[in-house]
Structure 1
């Protein structure tokens, strides 16, 4: 979940771009309406609306209300794009540019007709995070009489807010057993992040950093790999050991 601020910055920049584009478009329609009036033609509805917008300004300067862009939605699917997987799940120490969370999930409901549920969620951090969205979108019809064995393979460990919510869910729903395997530890140096990881662990969540074999399993199970094997990056094992050592120190 690194670089969440980048999403807010991009959204602000996009709103400014949209506002500028709207200003140009409305000014163009105004000019066309004026030319049509000079030629004795009836101006179009767009030109009339443009004139009304201009008339509403006391000094004659065009004023356009900025468009409010909707937040990015949670994406849910069966298979991840291979290029996205290789970038987002790479267990580098510095995760600049990786401003999403990919959450691959397996849900075993035991002896039920639904059997094993499988898929992935992807977020942009503008609305709900993937971890929170999982409990809403993937198991919306929670049944306290069932036993849920849930496994997540995530591109980075949860933020402090998500960790707190996960801990609350596990405390309230004792029939849910959750294991989280994370490619990277998100801002693990921060005190509140460490507290969140401990809270999940204390609530019964199994936490571990993804091993090289976990990356290959996730690639085979959740990625549109066209039956091509995953070629692990050179420092994959070294980075796993680095993160796993940090996690062990936090949870001890």
Structure 2
């Protein structure tokens, strides 16, 4: 199996500017004052190299200003909250990277969720599209019921099918269980490219709870990747070519999922 280093969360660390060094002007000091300066220096706390100076015992919050010592402090950058992206077609590069069914998801900090919704309404329309998130805010699974299917009519039967880059995390699994218990006429099937936290007890508990709530859990096999490519990817009429070990990795995950759900 490829890519064995796992990254479970998304984080962005803003670059910090190095402190601006200013050469102090050397001035001659009379001999009688040197002793006094040494005594004053001994009373001052020693500052470690690279350590921020403190004011009144509390480190400043990084206001961008030049102090008397000529040092430049940079105010920490505040990143905007991550947003859920909704669309109809995925970039083919993103699909091939995010849906690749490697054993561990190194560098793959997003969840891509492709959906089909058949509510058996009179117009017979089937909703389709995809959601994209980053593991730092609302996840795609929860966002689906906020943005795509916020309303529920108990008189209708809903058939919802997801093709996701990785299976739901334990927190999302718990929320999905609540939704399925509240929406009795909704049937959810989840095809996952990879299993998320399948080695952890909480991850296994979440998958078992989903299955017990009536959710059908499946791993994506090569034909499912091909279907998703044709249906949800801006492929410019290019045929899907499975990556190396695609079938072998599917069989690996399928065995793990069967062991968890037995």
TM-score band w.r.t. shorter chain: 0.7 to 0.9
Stretches of structure 2 lacking an aligned partner (at least 5 in a row): 1-5, 21-62
Offset, 1:71: 1.9
Of 144, 163, 167, the match for 2:177: 167
Matched with 2:252 is 242
* 1:118 partnered with 2:128: yes
Aligned-partner Cα distance in 1 for 2:232–2:205: 30
Matched with 1:179 is 189
Of 127, 137, 140, the match for 2:137: 127
Task: Give me the CA root mean square deviation.
Answer: 2.1
Stretches of structure 1 lacking an aligned partner (at least 5 in a row): 25-51
Matched with 1:233 is 243
Taking the TM superposition and a 5 Å limit, the aligned residue runs for 1:1-252 are 3-5=7-9, 7-8=10-11, 11=12, 13-14=13-14, 16-17=15-16, 20=17, 54=65, 61-113=71-123, 115-252=125-262
Give the 3-state SS of the residue equivalent to 2:163 in structure 1: strand
Cα 1:60–1:84 shift into 2, 3 Å: same
Give the 3-state SS of the residue equivalent to 1:105 in structure 2: strand
Give the 3-state SS of the residue equivalent to 1:73 in structure 2: coil
Offset, 1:70: 1.4
Offset, 1:196: 0.0
- The 8 Å contact of residues 98 and 110 in structure 2, kept in 1 or not, is answered as yes
Cα 1:3–1:53 shift into 2, 3 Å: closer
- The 8 Å contact of residues 216 and 230 in structure 1, kept in 2 or not, is answered as yes
Query: Number of residue pairs matched?
Result: 215
Give the 3-state SS of the residue equivalent to 2:202 in structure 1: helix
Structure showing the higher helix proportion among its residues:
1
Cα 1:58–1:203 shift into 2, 3 Å: farther
Offset, 1:170: 0.4
Offset, 1:69: 1.1
The alignment's TM-score, normalised by the length of structure 1, stands at 0.79
Write the deviation string for residues 53-78 of structure 1: whole angstroms up to 9, x where unpaired: 648x6766544542321121111100
- The 8 Å contact of residues 181 and 210 in structure 1, kept in 2 or not, is answered as yes
Offset, 1:111: 2.9
Higher gyration radius (CA): 2
The alignment's TM-score, normalised by the length of structure 2, stands at 0.76
- The 8 Å contact of residues 54 and 60 in structure 1, kept in 2 or not, is answered as no
Give the 3-state SS of the residue equivalent to 1:221 in structure 2: helix
